[in-house]
Structure 1
Amino acid sequence: MSGEAAPADDDFTQAVLHEVLAQDRALIEGVAAYRRHSYRRTLADPPILWSEGESRLLDYNVTGGGDGSTILFVPSLVNRAYVLDLMEDASFLRFLAGNGVRPLLLDWGWPGPVERQFTLTDYIAGRLERVLGTIGQPVVLAGYCMGGLLALAAALRSPARIQALALLATPWDFHADNPEGAENLGRSLPLLEPFMRATGTLPIDALQMLFAILDPFGVAEKYRGFAALDPNGPRARRFVALEDWLNDGVPLAAPVARETLGGWYGENAPARGQWRVAGLPVDPTQFDKPALIATPARDRLVPPASAAALAASIPHATVIAPNAGHIGMVAGMSAELALWQPFLDWVLGL
């Protein structure tokens, strides 16, 4: 019987090998196509309203026509802020500025000698609160990804400075989808300590490795898809712009890395009510103003269940679930339909 089955087994093995080799070729072709693409970002920054250390506050109301609500965007600490202003035809901030509101962007910048000593309290109760004081009027505070957690904490500390709160792809329950994976990230801290002691930061390469753990098949999959695109088409240009942004990372201050990996991922401190900023608990149930929660349906970095736990904790939350991924929601080909317009409609309706 076993002899009769051998040809079928051989055929199956050959089919699997052929598929693996085909996928490898597509991956290599995709990486090569990305490396030789001619696109380079040339978009100039808008005026700087304020700066402190390596951080800047950028004013996107360059035409002066944004007389409506002022929106302060708070990005993550581990990626460049310009994902919200990626390219001429892919800028969330310029879209908003052209539709009657005043967007401001807090660009955290590269952590210099001062910022390398920062904790989350220093970023939130220090630098972010000083930005809010500089603006001098209540704002719609909009946080993206990790920036949403910073924005939430700041909103709870300074409610008089906040008109409303928007949390875009913001994690809360870090154990909602894959508790074992989150706990493993927390356990990785001892392995990362030599890098952090040497530089005062969690270096970019280490951060990239951690992101790869969260989405282990994403990199290969996207490059295989890129290999099939018309290199002169808009989708290829957008892909290259986003990949350049992803590769233009920012290291994370070592104290913040310890708090986030150990406290957020390892211990799930936010969802357990144990995350504190300047000694005060960050309790979303205490935020009693309008809030918008965006939980992208195809998010691999912040599982929808993690963000949904935050939405369930905020009393006056409007929840939208864009049919997009974590980055695609703010800068992908369908971002205007997925997030930009619904976000604008919500702001105009406040």
Structure 2
Amino acid sequence: MSALPNRRGPRPLPLHLMLGAARGMAALTMPLPGMPLPGMFPPLPGMPPFGPAWPSWNSGWPRSKAGQAEAMRIAQALAGLDPASRSPEAFRAAVLRRLWRQDAQLLRGLAAYRRHPHRRALIDPPVIWAEGSARLLDFGGSGRPVLFVPSLVNRHYVLDLDEGASLMRHLAGRGLRPLLLDWGWPGPVERRFTLTDHVAGRLERALLAAPAGLVLAGYCMGGLLALAAALRRPDRVAALALLATPWDFSGDAQARGLARLLPGLEPLMEPAGALGVDLLQSLFAMLDPYGIPEKFRAFARLDPASARARRFVALEDWLNDGIPLAAPVARETLGGWYGENTPARGEWTVAGLPVLPGEWRGPAFVGVPARDRIVPPGSALALAAALPGATVHIAPSGHIGMVAGQGAEAALWRPLGDWLLGL
């Protein structure tokens, strides 16, 4: 039997390799007592010069545990060398030898991921509605229907990731009837869509095709779309569940930084009418540039046959299987949500009407990951505060880990299922 082809990811691979090497640049530009500062590295296009304060994407970088650990390792590597007894050239060479050993581990982790034998084998459940690129998947069951709305920039199957790693199948096993909206790959029609087209068009018609009295659940930006749809069609929606859903971007420096990139992204969106997958992946990578190389170094130390390695591969495959974001939606989200904070200011509109969570009158569940790098907990908690009588659940996990990580069942699946069954 022929060998499985190597994966394309992690995407974009050159960026990940560059970020892995960036730690060496940072280390070599950090001065120690008694050690003269090495020469400045020339700046890369669009990047600040590498110097003692580099990297500085914003004041919050690195913000993750992996990023903080990476900065600590650089400091420890430097502290373990005695600059007073070496020439600057010898000191630099010693730092590079130590970092090269760790870079070799990064390459081993990348290679181990790309050749890992696991491939997702779950079969999609029946489709009960379809329009354009969108489908509504029915996971079965005779209990209360729960329609899940994922983000527009990632594949739907993060909620149905793998055997033993599927929120949808877990809830079906508890007697509920999960439905999952797959937005699909945007074709020429969808690339002209605005958020109004998605909410008042596709999502609303999916609601009409589903059983009435359902719970509408949204994950990440899908939560904002679900909220807007529920406010438009309270006759179809009995309750709301919003998971890792952003709302108030006023305190998020990274969101404002991404908004400032929008003018420069316009020429890149023009040819295809969308932000491409690799460009989106690059933007997400910059949220935690140290963390991404570190997770592959950690993967190199795992037993490839372990359950933990399999889950890592399944999640990485999903992350690298992204979806382009239609240019009109990119402008609304980056410029409006991120740049102008339109949701929290009551200025985000769908079909001309503002989306105001205070107008929701049904039960609501808000799941907030405590270690979320993509949606700061304060942003999601602001939405919970604006929803009258919302049940707030703080999950001890990250943005993706809450729905598909090793600890997802305890962090979210069971608490969410309990709430749904108690309605």
Q: State TM-score, norm by structure 1.
A: 0.94
1:93 to 168, 178, 188: 168
1:42 matched residue in structure 2:
121
Checking the alignment, whether the CA contact within 8 Å between 1:299 and 1:325 is kept in structure 2 is yes
The answer to whether structure 1 residue 261 and structure 2 residue 334 are counterparts is yes
How far apart, CA to CA, are the structure 2 residues paired with 1:83 and 1:15? Answer: 43
The answer to whether structure 1 residue 129 and structure 2 residue 204 are counterparts is yes
Deviations 1:91-116 (A, max 9, x none): 11011111100000000000011101
1:74 matched residue in structure 2:
149
Checking the alignment, whether the CA contact within 8 Å between 2:369 and 2:395 is kept in structure 1 is yes
How far apart, CA to CA, are the structure 2 residues paired with 1:203 and 1:261? Answer: 15
Amino acid at match of 2:137: L
1:109 to 184, 196, 200: 184
Structure 1 segment 126-165 matched on structure 2, within 5 A: 126-165=201-240
2:311 to 238, 250, 259: 238
SS of alignment partner, residue 208 of structure 1: helix
Structure 1 segment 301-312 matched on structure 2, within 5 A: 301-312=374-385
1:33 matched residue in structure 2:
112
Amino acid at match of 1:58: L
Structure 1 segment 307-322 matched on structure 2, within 5 A: 307-322=380-395
Structure 1 unaligned regions, length at least 5: none
Distance 1:36 1:2, change over 3 A: closer
The answer to whether structure 1 residue 325 and structure 2 residue 395 are counterparts is no
1:275 matched residue in structure 2:
348
- Give, in angstroms, the shift of residue 26 of structure 1: 2.1
How far apart, CA to CA, are the structure 1 residues paired with 2:292 and 2:333? Answer: 24
Checking the alignment, whether the CA contact within 8 Å between 2:367 and 2:394 is kept in structure 1 is yes
2:265 to 192, 203, 206: 192
Structure 1 segment 167-178 matched on structure 2, within 5 A: 167-176=242-251, 178=252
Distance 1:18 1:292, change over 3 A: farther
SS of alignment partner, residue 184 of structure 2: coil
Distance 1:127 1:12, change over 3 A: same
Structure 2 unaligned regions, length at least 5: 1-32, 36-81
SS of alignment partner, residue 186 of structure 1: helix
Checking the alignment, whether the CA contact within 8 Å between 2:240 and 2:363 is kept in structure 1 is yes
How many correspondences in the alignment? 344
- Give, in angstroms, the shift of residue 25 of structure 1: 2.0
The answer to whether structure 1 residue 201 and structure 2 residue 277 are counterparts is no
SS of alignment partner, residue 301 of structure 1: coil
SS of alignment partner, residue 329 of structure 1: helix
- Give, in angstroms, the shift of residue 346 of structure 1: 0.4
1:7 matched residue in structure 2:
85
1:293 matched residue in structure 2:
366
2:294 matched residue in structure 1:
221
- Give, in angstroms, the shift of residue 133 of structure 1: 1.0
Amino acid at match of 1:7: S
Checking the alignment, whether the CA contact within 8 Å between 2:218 and 2:245 is kept in structure 1 is yes
> Identity, % of aligned pairs?
65
How far apart, CA to CA, are the structure 2 residues paired with 1:349 and 1:256? Answer: 36
CA RMSD in angstroms comes to: 1.9
Q: State TM-score, norm by structure 2.
A: 0.78
Deviations 1:224-244 (A, max 9, x none): 111111101000011001101
How far apart, CA to CA, are the structure 2 residues paired with 1:111 and 1:195? Answer: 17
Amino acid at match of 2:84: A
Amino acid at match of 2:136: L
Deviations 1:166-204 (A, max 9, x none): 11001111232x33x222211211211122110011111
Amino acid at match of 2:357: P
Distance 1:302 1:19, change over 3 A: farther
How far apart, CA to CA, are the structure 2 residues paired with 1:171 and 1:18? Answer: 43
Amino acid at match of 2:192: Q
Distance 1:163 1:38, change over 3 A: same
How far apart, CA to CA, are the structure 2 residues paired with 1:183 and 1:34? Answer: 33
1:59 to 138, 159, 171: 138
SS of alignment partner, residue 295 of structure 1: strand
SS of alignment partner, residue 25 of structure 1: helix
SS of alignment partner, residue 160 of structure 1: coil
The answer to whether structure 1 residue 83 and structure 2 residue 161 are counterparts is no
Distance 1:131 1:15, change over 3 A: same
Checking the alignment, whether the CA contact within 8 Å between 2:133 and 2:187 is kept in structure 1 is yes
- Give, in angstroms, the shift of residue 5 of structure 1: 7.1
Deviations 1:113-137 (A, max 9, x none): 1101100000001110111111141
